[in-house]
Structure 1
Amino acid sequence: MQAELVLDARNGTGESPVWHAAQQALYWVDIPARTLNRWHASEGHAQWKADEMIACIAPRTDAPGEWIAGMESGLFSLKPQADGTLAAASLAPVEHAAPAMRFNDGRCDRQGRFWAGTMLLDMAAGSRVGRLYSYGKGDSNATLRLDDFIVPNGLAFGPDGRTMYLSDSHPAVQAVWAFDYDTETGTPGNRRLFVDMKPLPGRPDGAAMDTDGCYWICGNDAGLVHRFTPDGRLDRSLEVPVKKPAMCAFGGAGLDTLFVTSIRPGGIDLSDQPLAGGVFALRPGAQGVPEPAFGS
């Protein structure tokens, strides 16, 4: 199966792809560029810039046209402006566990609560200061749920919302865990190892779910997107023409296209991956689960 180039975006770190069904458009962020991006098949590429790095996003039902986002100093609501900027309103400032941290991977659970993890900007330090927070409609603060991570990543919720998945993508960890998830209270429990990715190609990065309850996760550094069955078995691995796929999301009219964002690190040799930082599409023969909006 060959990946199709959607956009030669040249993102430093293309992350958090979200399919907007009403617009039939793909949104994502470029973290170091501080941009929110949109691609539409007939309208092309649009971009809006923020004052802080944006790491993860979800659309808001309670404020149409706005996005909830995990950024550097906390959670914000973002509204694209006609001049290419983003109007940002603080929702929940966060006191990080250490200086020089930002949010990383995040998304909404099936009930519309926003979940997002934090990480140290200097990932190589290997400091276990990463935390996982949740924030619901009507909350005044983000609630600390889990800690002791280096780079929390791969957040996803099963089709019925009763299983939560979370990874740590640091080279020293490379594990994916599953949790029983109480949909009423938004509480994860019974943490267990779902996949040990150390023996497999690629570090665990961003993830997506399909209607069969299978977990798709980018194999960063390996140029692969892996699919794991609900019992943690590696079912297949699909190639993309870059070394660092970052996150995947199902989209398209039938939610049967798997979009993949990627990373273009500064100073890399581009001779064997000139499309690094691009956005790609795969037709994996699976259908995704619609992603809930915040407050839904």
Structure 2
Amino acid sequence: MEGVTRVDGVSCTVGESPTWSAQEGAWYWVDIPAKRVWRLDGSTGASRYWEQSEMVACVAAKQGGGLIAGMETGIFSLELGAAQASVQTRLAAPASGLGEGMRFNDGRCDRQGRFWSGTMFMDMGAARPVGQLYRYDAARGISAPMVSDLITQNGTAFSPDGRTMYLSDSHPSRRMVWAFDYDIADGVPSGRRVFADLTTQVGRPDGAAVDADGCYWVCGNDGGYIMRFTPDGKLDRRVDVPMLKPSMCAFGGKDLDTLLVTSIVSGKSEDAEWGGTVVMLRPGVKGLAETPFGA
């Protein structure tokens, strides 16, 4: 597809959670069922991965190096070595535990460097609304559930000033994006409201990013496109991508003008070439630097 560059040598079953580490000049993302964390050097284009002992669903950079991750049994610190080895340190888990068949899913840091991630029941066909959204910081540990009754938690993102938090449920029966007022001092969301109702769209709202204009970019999983919503919830742009199931997008690169998009293998013949690939494109706008965990 014109304007889209495929990252060579990378194929994921469920590619997710791309993030740009400005301190390293590198991209990170995960392949959930493969238990892999991928890294792409922004200067050389060299890619590599580390295999973990359990599934990694989301990652964010930590201040000083390494990653924080939402995994199967909790929130972990990951130190990725020069070889294939990595050091996993479990930092926290929900007080009630995750429960059988559960894991963390989408996540990122807020503008103050607190880590947010939600849980889901892995069998999406069961449509169990048992997912919950949590906040983690080193001083207070893991919070009580901040949002409950989620089937497939996704789309967590924050406005440029940090005072609006976005969250979606990408399950086919939900297809909804919400906005919250966000207390930047205490890290508490309130005033939940519908931001974008996608129940009439082909694509489901998956992972997301916010650009420098405060617009919300969300992947249309199953639709083969990315949607851009203005801060007042108006759909003002749609960018087609070559994969049927784009899963999450992230701004990065030296000038924060590159959008990296991960994807999921659909198993459909028309998606055989691009499903599971990672691509880059330049949408003509710039993103925002992500705040590392602990900053």
Bin for the TM-score computed over the shorter chain? over 0.9
TM-score of the pair, normalised by structure 2: 0.95
* Contact 1:17/1:29, CA 8 A, preserved across alignment: yes
Counterpart amino acid of residue 143 in structure 1: A
Change (3 A) 1:178 1:42: same
Residues 88-128 of structure 1, C-alpha deviations (whole Å, 9 max, x = no match) = 01100234454210000000000110000000010110000
> How do 1:96-115 and structure 2 match up within 5 A?
96=97, 98-115=99-116
Percent of aligned positions that are identical: 51
Counterpart amino acid of residue 90 in structure 1: R
Residue number in structure 1 paired with 2:215: 214
Give the unaligned 5+ runs of structure 1.
none
Residue number in structure 2 paired with 1:58: 60
Counterpart amino acid of residue 275 in structure 1: W
- Helix, strand or coil at the partner of 2:103: strand
Q: CA deviation at 1:270?
A: 3.9
Counterpart amino acid of residue 52 in structure 1: E
Q: Distance in 2 between matches of 1:197 and 1:98?
A: 30
* Contact 2:12/2:264, CA 8 A, preserved across alignment: yes
Residue number in structure 2 paired with 1:187: 188
Matched, 1:295 2:275: no
Q: Distance in 2 between matches of 1:43 and 1:234?
A: 33
Runs of 4+ more than 3 Å apart:
95-98, 140-143, 269-273
Residues 209-228 of structure 1, C-alpha deviations (whole Å, 9 max, x = no match) = 00111000000001101000
Q: Distance in 2 between matches of 1:135 and 1:144?
A: 11
Aligned partner (choices 43, 47, 50) of residue 49 of structure 2: 47
Q: CA deviation at 1:140?
A: 3.4
Aligned pair count reads 292
Change (3 A) 1:76 1:210: same
Residues 147-192 of structure 1, C-alpha deviations (whole Å, 9 max, x = no match) = 1000110000000000000000000000000000000010100100
* Contact 1:128/1:148, CA 8 A, preserved across alignment: yes
- Helix, strand or coil at the partner of 1:124: helix
* Contact 2:158/2:165, CA 8 A, preserved across alignment: yes
Counterpart amino acid of residue 116 in structure 1: S
Residue number in structure 2 paired with 1:245: 246
Counterpart amino acid of residue 201 in structure 1: V
TM-score of the pair, normalised by structure 1: 0.95
Counterpart amino acid of residue 49 in structure 1: E
- Helix, strand or coil at the partner of 2:141: coil
Residue number in structure 2 paired with 1:158: 159
- Helix, strand or coil at the partner of 2:125: helix
Change (3 A) 1:224 1:96: farther
Q: CA deviation at 1:239?
A: 1.1
| 94-103 or 14-23, larger mean C-alpha shift | 94-103
Q: CA deviation at 1:8?
A: 4.7
Residue number in structure 1 paired with 2:91: 91
> How do 1:1-296 and structure 2 match up within 5 A?
2-40=3-41, 41-61=43-63, 64-94=64-94, 95-96=96-97, 98-265=99-266, 268-296=267-295
Counterpart amino acid of residue 39 in structure 1: L
Q: Distance in 2 between matches of 1:43 and 1:274?
A: 21
Q: Distance in 2 between matches of 1:172 and 1:240?
A: 24
Q: CA deviation at 1:21?
A: 1.2
Q: Distance in 2 between matches of 1:8 and 1:183?
A: 40
Q: Distance in 2 between matches of 1:163 and 1:241?
A: 31
* Contact 2:212/2:286, CA 8 A, preserved across alignment: yes
* Contact 1:171/1:203, CA 8 A, preserved across alignment: yes
